[in-house]
């Protein structure tokens, strides 16, 4: 996936667009995460990013970038459909990795602690 497309995906959008994206992410994040957790080498980071994106103390621009990346992650039909086993999440990983590089300093320890609790509650999912 080229930088231009990733850049377009990660545009934070205005506050109304972010609210729509947050609603989509909240509704689809956990079902998608449960399917992908074993295939994502950085599942804990994705869950921490979810908590960072839904934290009202996170700066608006950072929330927008995370919500855009997580929105891309939760949508089943994207550049490479997620239904294609391991290969289906490669484009999602590229988008999420780019988002993390842009905003990693905003994901705080409290977000990782929330991720650890969420993953610990999920049967069969290792925290790591």
- pLDDT tens, residue by residue, 62-75: 999 999 888 888 77
* pLDDT beyond 80 at 106: yes
CA distances from 64 to 3, 31, 99, 108, 118 (A): 18, 21, 10, 17, 22
Is residue 83 assigned to a domain?
yes
- pLDDT tens, residue by residue, 27-61: 888 777 777 676 667 888 889 999 999 999 999 99
Is residue 127 assigned to a domain?
no
Is residue 57 assigned to a domain?
yes
Range of the domain at 60: 3-121
Is residue 40 assigned to a domain?
yes
pTM of the model: 0.63
The count of structural domains within the chain is 1
The four Cα atoms 55, 118, 32, 47 give a dihedral, to 10 degrees, of 50
Is residue 126 assigned to a domain?
no
Is residue 79 assigned to a domain?
yes
């Amino acid at each position: 996936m080229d930088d231009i497309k990733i850049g377009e995906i990660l545009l934070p959008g205005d506050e109304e667009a972010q609210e729509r994206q947050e609603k989509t992410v909240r509704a689809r994040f956990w079902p998608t995460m449960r399917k992908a957790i074993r295939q994502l080498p950085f599942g804990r980071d994705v869950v921490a990013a979810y908590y960072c994106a839904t934290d009202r103390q996170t700066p608006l621009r950072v929330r927008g970038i995370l919500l855009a990346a997580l929105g891309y992650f939760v949508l089943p039909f994207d550049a490479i459909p997620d239904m294609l086993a391991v290969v289906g999440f490669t484009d999602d990983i590229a988008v999420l990795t780019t988002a993390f590089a842009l905003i990693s300093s905003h994901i705080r320890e409290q977000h990782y602690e929330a991720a650890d609790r969420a993953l610990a509650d999920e049967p069969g999912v290792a925290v790591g």
